[in-house]
Amino acid sequence: MDRVSAKILIYSLLAGASALAHARPAADLIVTDATVYTVDRRHPSAQAVAVIGDRLVAVGSSAEIALWRGPKTAVIDAHGKLLLPGFNDAHAHFIHGGEQLAQVQLNDATSVAELARRLAAQVARTPRGGWILGGDWDETRWRPAQLPTAAQIDEVTRDVPVFVSRYDGHAALANSAAMKLAGVSAATADVPGGVIVRDAAGAPTGVFKDAALSLISRAVPPASHQERVAAAERALALAASVGVTSVQHMSADYADVAAYSELQERGALTARIYCAPLETGWQDQAKVGLRRAWGSAYLRLGAVKGFADGSIGSRTAALFEPYSDEPGNRGILSDEMHPPEAMRARLMQADAAGLQLRVHAIGDRAVSMILDIFAAIQQAHGYHDQRMTIEHAQHVAPQDFERFAQLHVIASMQPYHAIDDGRWVEARIGQQRAKTSYAWRTLLDHGVTLAFGTDWTVAPLNPMLGLYAAVTRATLDGRNPAGWIPEQRITLAEAVEAYTMGSAFAEFQEKDKGSITPGKLADMVILGANIFAIRPEAIREVKVETTIVGGKVVYQR
Ligand SMILES: [Zn+2]
């Protein structure tokens, strides 16, 4: 028996004897004088909490919790500030994000000339043989909003290979040095599920989309173990500073798991990680007997991540009807969906092995096809609380909302995408389809569980931006202050729940995480302002004061 269970046992024995009731064990940590918003419907609010070891043992008034104080108890006086359960990002590319924190930053470049200038500066910092990666450029920020080309950056980058991503990760720009190293030329054939953007003469312009990204990325030397560990450390520091205490790492490489594993061994994981490697490798997890949510409180496996299509931004999301601004283009299914029966067969086997299925689907056609596959799996294996998720679920055909509910499919969504994409997405899909896009309200009204996250690095990791997006739907360009498709806004309480309990449910952790409830892991965050008491527009400015994971302070502002 460990120390904590011993204490709890002793307390249980003593609790029955009223004469000895004062002799309760001392807490290791007390947070007092807080405005506690628990996300626990049975006890929605409180003032203070007590923690023993890594778990909450009591939630109540400051006076009640003071009884848990002993000579060695650490006490945090929150001075009335808001205490929430830690945020659980249900969809992030965490180590990639950590890598990118040290890479060239192109996201706010407002012209191709600025993009080239920043790449030129990065060339000077790049060691011999190194690649320039990352970037997150966004051509919608410059005029005309055209994709960049290798020719525009070759002069400043010369023989240093460049492969910088569009911010949605569904397209990237290579320079000529990179294409040469990768052996890509006008003679290179197209790839199913991908696009090689070509000029009039058929030569690649430098932009590759979706499955065609691998034509270049396979030439990029993989990150070393030490590089991944360092990237994870950078990402963990950022997560702690913005109150993210759990992360569901989508499309994790096994080498990422190894990096987390080392950090766990060192006691250095300051956020809890659930990894979902690609579904194409489902047998790897199945053959060692891993099932959903397998592992420790800090590091778990047992999910597989699939892709059904691309993104709206890259016009590769699969739609029923053509893009409104590109007749004839209905987007493309991913290479995993060539053919869809192969995807269904793999997911069927992964489900039979007890693995959780999490599938990226953005366009209404892709969402519908994945619902078909999930329905077929449930028909074959029965429904037994598998918690299948559709990741993103951005554009849903009206007839499919009811199917989400019937099939108990979780919608794992990233509210920030709505205020980012909302700047331009209506031009791509038209007014009618926009009404059921990023449709949190409709999904909740159908009884669908929402799990919120960011898709970091596609969106910033900071949960305040997601909450702000969910309640305002005010697009980043300032053009929709009253909300873009305002009828799809949700309440702050609903958004916080999706970002805590909803995400916990999506990773089978709702008994251990997601609310401030005695017995659960002591993962909490103190905010600098009460987001329930301020104007919704101000939520995005709110800073985290203190982040606590497993009863330990991992960030203090
Ligand atoms: Zn993603």
Annotate 491-512 with DSSP letters as a single string: -HHHHHHIIIIIHHHHTT-TTT
pLDDT of residue 19: 39
Which pair of tokens denotes residue 17? 């004897």
- End-to-end Cα spacing for the chain: 36
DSSP-derived 3-state class of residue 551: coil
Q: Hey, which bits of 446-490 come out as E strands?
A: 450-452
Ligand 1 centre and the CA of 144: distance in Å? 27
pLDDT at 122: 95
Q: What's the CA-to-centroid distance between 296 and ligand 1, angstroms? A: 24
For residue 113, give the 3-state DSSP assignment.
Answer: helix
Q: How far is the CA of 457 from the centre of ligand 1 (A)?
A: 8
Pull the structure tokens for residue 52.
């023993």
Using alpha carbons only, what angle is made at residue 350 by residues 347 and 352, rounded to the nearest 5 degrees? 110
Amino acid at 531: I
The whole-angstrom separation of Cα 174 and Cα 196 is 11
Count how many Cα atoms sit within 13 Å of the Cα of residue 525 in the half-sphere of its side chain: 33
Distance 231 CA to ligand 1 centre (A): 17
How far apart are alpha carbons 541 and 206 in whole angstroms?
38
Q: Which residues pair with 196 in a beta bridge?
A: 208
For residues 413 and 440, the answer to whether their CB atoms sit within 8 Å is: yes
Q: Is the peptide bond before 457 cis (omega within 30 degrees of 0)?
A: yes
Ligand 1 centroid – CA 455 distance (Å): 5
Question: Residue 472 C-alpha to ligand 1 middle, in angstroms?
Answer: 23
- Is this prediction's pTM over 0.75? yes
* Residue 256 CB-half CA count within 13 A: 26
* pLDDT score for 22: 54
Contact between residue 348 and residue 380 where contact means Cβ atoms under 8 Å apart: yes
Pairing of the two strands 450-452 and 410-413? parallel
Smallest CA-to-CA distance from 361 within 307, 403, 314 is with 307
- Helices (H), ranges, 20-111: 62-66, 94-100
* Secondary structure letter of residue 546 according to DSSP: E
Q: Determine the distance from the C-alpha atom of residue 110 to the mean position of all C-alpha atoms in its chain, rounded to a whole number.
A: 26
Determine the distance separating the centroid of ligand 1 and the alpha carbon of 93, expressed in angstroms.
6
Burial class of residue 297 (count of CB atoms within 10 Å of its CB; 0-12, 13-18, 19+): middle
Give the residue carrying structure tokens 């086997």.
349
Ligand 1 centre distance from Cα of residue 284 (Å): 21
C-alpha 519/C-alpha 512 separation (Å) is 7
Q: If you measure from the C-alpha of residue 453 to the centroid of ligand 1, how many angstroms do you get, rounded to a whole number? A: 10
Pairing of strands 389-392, 410-413: parallel
User: Going by C-beta distance under 8 Å and a sequence separation of 6 or more, which residues neighbour residue 306?
Assistant: 278, 279, 280, 334, 336, 343, 346, 347, 357, 358, 359, 360
Ligand 1 centroid – CA 307 distance (Å): 9
Average pLDDT by consecutive 10-residue portion of the chain (557 residues)? Answer: 49 44 83 98 97 98 97 98 98 96 93 96 90 94 94 96 93 97 96 94 96 96 93 98 98 98 98 98 98 98 97 94 96 95 98 98 98 98 97 98 98 97 95 97 98 95 98 96 97 98 98 98 98 98 98 98
Q: How many whole angstroms from 250 Cα to the centroid of ligand 1?
A: 6
